[in-house]
Amino acid sequence: MLAFTTAGLLAIMTETMPAGLLPEIGQGLGVSEGLTGQLVTLYAMGSVLAAIPVIAATRGVRRRPLLLAAVGGLFVFNTVTALSGSYAVTLAARFIAGMAAGVIWGLLAGYARRLVAPHLQGRAMAVVGVGQPIALTLGVPLGAWLGSVFDWRGAFWVMSALALVLLVWVRTLVPDHPGQSAGERRPLREIFLLPGVRPVLSVVFLWMLAHNILYTYIAPYLDESGLGGSVGIVLLVFGASAIVGIWGVGVLVDHRLRALTLVGLAVFAAASLVLGIGVQHPVPVLVGVVAWGVSFGGAPTLLQTSIADAAGDGADVAQSMLVTVFNLAIAGGGVCGGLLLESTGPTSFPWVLCVLALLALAVAWTARSHGFRPGGRV
């Protein structure tokens, strides 16, 4: 499970780290910071485009070799990025690295569930997911720090070294598991139409869209509350709160999945209200950030467990659909947040978040028979 946690952390760190190195990378490649920012965009697009077709095409492949190939992709193309002096080559390397990350995210949930007893599957997902808030909190500042200690190429060499260590770890200590036989593989459309899959995907999109509107543009929002110079501290508070949320969900998810999902969305909506009402005051904003972090921390575990339960033996493909929707929500958060920033300003973010959270809560509430079922999972 810890190897899977590290794989998720590596995938997100590789995605977010360039954001802390934009000036250095731009200078090294001879392009503007705006063009350098597309290194993050191309990585996300690689994940979006690869997750569903690659996971669907490799359902019959044994799990460990597939995971090794995906981690190996991060190793190779982080190394290419570290060596590249061409912007075009770097963009291509980032796109293919994003494809490898999409395979990792589409693979981890189903693989982890196969390695534990059914009554521990939700807890296993919590362990696998703990790398996400850590990477989201530390990715940008760690990239900036590594760039100051070495240079931007040195930061990518560190990511390559971590991938190499992970390759050895997975090969020597992670048990293998067979893929699906031809008779077990359902068509993609059939999996998408399974009861419960679409409601979960709808909640994923609404919840993650709301989250990323604020997370992407947290700096201009904090400027309004007098915390503009403390973005790093606020993100650290958010990350610590998210880890608390993961722990709480991990303890209870196998027994109270529906209740935790509804409570998580309600807390997120309440946090949005606090952030909206108290925008001019640092203390309410910090309270809202803590509640936001706690509610978000457990969200990936809840949503991945819900869609895997709904999809049954089609869990890997359903997870790849979740990865695609998740990344579309990240992109949508950037677009919607940018439009709101230009039109109504950052103080409008919390109110939009609250509306989206309530819509997601309504979808989850109605998905009682399938998707977010009451009672224990087993």
| Encoded amino acid at 36, one letter | T
Residue 330 pLDDT: 80
Residue 231 pLDDT: 77
Work out the mean pLDDT of the chain and round it to a whole number: 87
Residue 232 pLDDT: 75
Report residue 253's pLDDT band, with 50, 70 and 90 as the boundaries.
Answer: confident
At residue 378, does pLDDT exceed 60?
no
Phi, psi of 12 (to 5 degrees): -75, -40
Residue 18 pLDDT: 80
Cα angle at 69 between 64 and 71, to 5 degrees? 95
> Residue 378 carries which DSSP code?
-
Residue 179 pLDDT: 77
Say which range, 172-181, 224-233, 284-293, has the weakest mean pLDDT: 224-233
Report residue 124's pLDDT band, with 50, 70 and 90 as the boundaries.
Answer: confident
User: Are the beta carbons of 61 and 179 closer than 8 angstroms?
Assistant: yes
Report residue 139's pLDDT band, with 50, 70 and 90 as the boundaries.
Answer: low
Averaged pLDDT, 247-255: 87
Model's pTM, two decimal places? Answer: 0.82
Report residue 183's pLDDT band, with 50, 70 and 90 as the boundaries.
Answer: low
Averaged pLDDT, 171-193: 83
Residue 255 pLDDT: 87
User: pLDDT tens digits for 22-54?
Assistant: 778 888 999 887 788 778 778 888 888 888 888
Q: Name the token pair of 104.
A: 């990792």
Share of the chain above pLDDT 90, in %: 37
Say which range, 170-174, 190-194, 206-210, has the weakest mean pLDDT: 190-194
Nearest to residue 373, comparing CAs of 256, 266, 281?
Answer: 256
User: Are the beta carbons of 305 and 377 closer than 8 angstroms?
Assistant: yes
Residue 373 pLDDT: 87
Nearest to residue 56, comparing CAs of 321, 326, 364?
Answer: 321
All structural domains of the chain, each given as residue ranges with its CATH number in brackets, are 2-184 (1.20.1250.20), 188-366 (1.20.1250.20)
- In what helix (H) or strand (E) does residue 61 lie, and over which residues does it extend? none
Residue 210 pLDDT: 94
Report residue 100's pLDDT band, with 50, 70 and 90 as the boundaries.
Answer: very high
Rg (CA), the chain: 20
At residue 296, does pLDDT exceed 80?
yes
Averaged pLDDT, 253-272: 94
Q: How far is CA 378 from CA 110, 132, 184, in A?
A: 16, 26, 22
Q: Name the token pair of 48.
A: 């979006």
The phi-psi region of residue 321 (left if phi > 0; otherwise alpha if psi is between -120 and 50; otherwise beta) is alpha
Helices and strands (DSSP H and E) totals, the chain:
18, 0
Q: How far apart are CA 269 and CA 31, in angstroms?
A: 41
Residue 37 CB contacts under 8 Å (≥ 6 apart), including other chains = 18, 19, 22
The string of DSSP codes covering 261-326 is HHHHHHHHHHHHHHHHHTTT-HHHHHHHHHHHHHHHHTHHHHHHHHHHHHHGGGHHHHHHHHHHHH
